[in-house]
Structures are given as C-alpha cells and as structure tokens.
Structure 1
Amino acid sequence: MAKPAAQNQVHLPADFEQVFAVAEPIGGWLTVEQAFLLYRQARAVDRPGAVIVEIGSHQGRSTVVLALAAPDSTVIAVDPFVDGAMFGGLGTKEKFEANLQRAKVTDRVELVQAKSTDRRQAWERPFELLYIDGKHDYWTVTDDLKWATHLPEGGSVLIHDAFSSIGVTLGLLRWVLPGTQLRYVGRAGSLAHFEKRRPSLADRARFIRQLPWWVRNVAIKVLLRLRLYPLARLAGHHDKADPY
C-alpha cells in the first residue's frame, strides 16, 4: 500500500498493516500516517474494560482502526448521522454498520446516535482516549474539547483537521493554546495529538510553530474552491482534494 513521504523511513508493524488493509477501503479522510497514530494510541490504552470515545464516525474508517487496534476495549462512536450533502444521514449510518460487520468489530463498538454537544453535559462514563472528528465549526469544537474532562491525567486527545480547518484551529487557539489542561505533543498531517497535562512554554511554542502550515492549507483550500489548480500545485499540493 502507498505510504506518505513522512512514513517512508518509518517501519510500520505488520499488525498495523493488516489493520489498515481492512480500514483503507472505507470512505473517509484518514491517511495511513494518521491511522498509525490512532493505532498506536489505541494500543497504548488497550485493556479489558478500557473505553475509547470517538466523536464523528462517518462511514467507520477511524472506528475500525481503533476497534482493531484495541480488541479488549470498547469504542464508543458518537455521531448523529444527520442528513446533508456532507454527512449522508441514514445512508451513511448503514455504511458505517456494514463496515463494522465486514471488519468483525461490531461487538467492540457502541454507537451513540446523537450530537456530541447534546450528550456531553450528562456524560459520566470515564474513558482512556478521545478522538475528535465531529462538526468542524468553532462552537462545536469548543464544546467537544470539554469531553477531555473525563480523561485521566496524561490521557490523549487526538483532533482531526486541527491544522486544515478554520473553525477547528480557531477553537484550539482560543481554548487550548492559552489553557492549562492540554499540551501539544505533535501531529500526523493535520491530525493533532494532545495530552491532558499542564503545558509548558515549550509545548505552547511547538503548537504556534504549526500555524504557518495551517495558513498554507487554508490558502490551498481557497485555490481549490476557485479551481486554480496550477497555483495549488506551486504550493506543493498535487491533489484536487483538500489538504488534511
């Protein structure tokens, strides 16, 4: 399978290769590099009774990676499956359920069909890992970040499109960068990794250094919307799909 340049010099374990071979045909926006980050974090917390929360499941590409990486854990998938051109409504839910069946992980996944913002305030169940890939507007992301309250100290928060979406990045700049709850660890493409731990000045500086890359991605999105593909290629983007 093809690997992005960032992973060309990195040995990918055979068991991850098998996991991604199952997940890769599923529709969605998760690169092999990003799937490997999900896989490593899910493996790190896997134990009987452990819980992983995923906000935004779409057709189940990331859900399958998490469930296969953590066979002793439960993945709670929170997604309303609302209608709309980007979401697909009940048709997407049917694909999600079929993909879980095909991957043989139905018994490891609990679906919560609801908006994450509606369920958060009444949520009491602790979990070990949080993956956020829900609605990308500023207000929803701001609310989704509050799910981290239920993580243990040192628990990981993975946020997709953290440096390719205006709404997500603005939410992180407003609430995470000056905050005291999450420290920036690194990223796989635009999938950012945070830990529930008080950030140092070095952590904040490392986060700030990602912002030029975010500006570049937003500019490429504008060029793609205007169909100025040659200019996007000059910026190093050789695909008609958005950078993520």
Structure 2
Amino acid sequence: MTFIAQTNAQYSKFITMCTVTFLPLNNTDFILTSNRDEQRNRETLPPAEYVEDGVKMMFPKDKIAGGTWIGASSKNRLVCVLNGAYKKHEKKNNYRKSRGVIAKEILKSTQVTDCVKDLNLNQVEPFTMVIVDWNEKLQLYELIWDEVKKSFKTLKNEPKIWSSSTLYSDNSKRLRKSWFQEWVHSNDFNVKNILQFHHSEIGAKEQAVLMKRSYVETVSITSVKKEENSITMLYEDVIHSKKKEVQF
C-alpha cells in the first residue's frame, strides 16, 4: 500500500521513542512510566518474564530487533531507552547492535557503573537511557551516547521528564516539561494519576504527551512501580486497547 511505503520511508528518517517520567515515592520506591512513539504497525510482544544468563527479567519485546525499550530485572534494576542523544541525528542504514539489546545487557549486569564503563558503543545509534538501581540505595542514572562520546551521570531522586530528541525540539521539550511540572504540583504520586498525564492530549497533537502524527504515534504506555520488594509492570497497547499487568 502507498501509505505503508511512505511511512516506512519516513520511519528511516524519523526513528522514534518516546516520553518518560520518573516519580520517587520515598527513599526506596518509585514509578517510571514510558510512552512509546512508533509506527502503529511495528509488532511488539506484551511484557513477559524471561531468563537470560541466569538473570530473571521482565519486559515487552520488539519483535524486529529482539530487544526492549523498558525492562526490569532480578538485579534490582530498571532500564528505559529513548532514541537520540542531545539533538536529532541522521539515521544510518546499518548499526552494529540494537539499543534494546544493550538495555538487556545492563539489566543483566552485576554492577551497573562497571557495565556502563565497559560498554562498547561504536556503531550504535545515539540514545538516552534512564537507569534506576536499588541495590545499595535508590539511585537514578542517565546514560547518553551521541555517536562520539558516552556521558553517564547520577541524577537527583526527584520528579523528572524526558522527551526523545528525534521527535521533539528544544522548545517542545520545554513546553512538555512545564506541563509535567504543573502536574507534579497538582497531583498525588500514584500510577493512576501519572497514567492520566501520559494519556494527556493537551496542545497540538504532534507535541502532546499522547502524541499522534501522520507517520508515528503513541502505540503503548508502560508504567513500572517498585514498592518494597515487588515490581509491577502495567502495559497498555494503545492501538488495540489491550492491557496486561505483570509482577515479580
């Protein structure tokens, strides 16, 4: 079909993902929520438990690359991937490794800082990764790769929003940040309330949190809540109006 051919061409130029929010609940618990902005016909498997190299993990799976954009593991860690680094980049025809596969490597690692230090990111597409680790204490990290330099830093455990640089300009990021800050000051931190924010259609459809454009739109929303010793992942397939909840 002509429409699919056009969107595939656009997809190669405007590869996607996503909007992410982090909410600390206390010194040990949190909620992280991710809107995945994708082509609506890109096939995805809902969250399930997997065991790789002896490590139990839970994540939705991208059928094309076999990786994930958001997952948690028995290593007391969560990883969420956004496409792009600081600014929009030109996509190459081929890359050595999927960012979703790198996310699983971090989920499986014993020590997150050592793993990130040793990562070989040559010929990997630019990305931003939000990493939450709760081994010694609740710790929020941000890993950015811009095809030249790897930046890894510790962030404060405070409410935060990220928007993918491949889809949102600096002005759009600032606008969405203002929406989030207003939400933070007006709402209790719980899954129900943050999901309402991630379903928000305020502003133009192209820049809304629940985004829709001609070639890409929000196809799923995943919210992960860590509370004491349990992890709950709530996954909503927006396109097909299906939901799945997984715990471990």
Question: What TM-score, normalized to structure 2?
Answer: 0.32
Question: What TM-score, normalized to structure 1?
Answer: 0.33
Query: Between Structure 1 and Structure 2, which shows a larger proportion of strand residues?
Result: 2
Query: Which protein has greater RCO, CA pairs closer than 8 Å, 6+ apart?
Result: 2
